[in-house]
Amino acid sequence: MTALSICGVRGGVGTTSLVAALGYALESLGERVLMIDMCPENLLRLHFNLLDSGESGWARAMLDGQQWHKQAWSLTPTLQLLPYGRLSADESMSIEQQLIHDPQIWSRRQASLAAHFDWLLFDIPQRLPGHGTIGPCLLPIQIAEADAACHVLLLQQAGSNPVLVNRFDPGSQLQRDLLLIWRKFYAARLLPLTVHADEAMREALAFKQPVGRYAPESLAALDALSLATWCLARRREMT
């Protein structure tokens, strides 16, 4: 089993949509996938038309003393989603403190899931380090847009995690220039592909579907499939 996390260099760069798109793409390639929403906003479920009952979700289960693994939704026989749950801000901070106090929680959970899935995809939030403590992770991917804010934030970081450029518009001179700069200075980190800006991605969320189901021939869906193929190849190289 392989764990992959997706976290934005900053907020609002489309991480949740990418998790949904990648999960759907990996499943279409024959992989068993569990998508895990680590974000208190609890929005990953919307990409699969799951209602918020207020009771389901792994974080809600932790607070209520319920079994977290029974909160997963089976979308297909080989694609499942584990939502975060509906929590208040204070309740989410309580979960944060529990995860910081016991950073091995998700390591143990990963071990219990290993026999059932080929991939665990984690949607990681900003500014909640406890929620980002997910145990062993082969592919911790950061998401950036080719803009000035992400450029400055990448300069300030000292990490080595892979970086994927999302919402790339080849018609933008600024974005093309930044991508050239990043390919020079972050060659070892930058993925050899981008996810293009595509209205189909926004429309897919409006229709509560992953983009690969809503518009399988769209540029964003094809990019997600390319990303899934890269992930499979990268796993073979690293294991």
User: What amino acid occupies position 140?
Assistant: P
pLDDT tens for each residue of 214-228: 999 999 999 999 999
Average pLDDT over residues 1-27: 97
Quickly state the pLDDT bin for 53 (edges 50, 70, 90): low
pLDDT, average across residues 122-151:
96
Q: pTM of this prediction? A: 0.95
pLDDT per position as a tens digit, 170-197: 999 999 999 999 999 998 899 999 999 9
Give the number of other Cβ atoms within 10 Å of residue 8's Cβ. Answer: 22
- Give me the pLDDT at residue 146, please: 97
pLDDT (average), residues 46-74: 88
Angle at alpha carbon of residue 237, lines to 235 and 239, rounded to 5°: 65
In tens, the pLDDT along 84-104 reads 999 999 999 999 999 999 999
Query: Which tokens hold the place of 22?
Result: 């990648």
Residue 102: both structure tokens together: 């016991």
Token readout for 46 is 């919307």
> Which residues are paired to 4 by β-bridges?
121, 139
Instruction: Give me the pLDDT at residue 89, please.
Output: 94
Residue with structure tokens 């070892």?
Answer: 188
CA atoms within 13 A on the CB side of 216: 4
Residue 83 has pLDDT above 70, yes or no: yes
Superfamily of domain 2-142+207-231: P-loop containing nucleotide triphosphate hydrolases (3.40.50.300)
- What confidence tier does 120 reach under pLDDT thresholds 50, 70, 90? very high
> Does 237 have pLDDT greater than 80?
yes
User: What burial class does residue 44 get, using C-beta atoms within 10 Å of its C-beta: 0-12 exposed, 13-18 middle, 19+ buried?
Assistant: buried
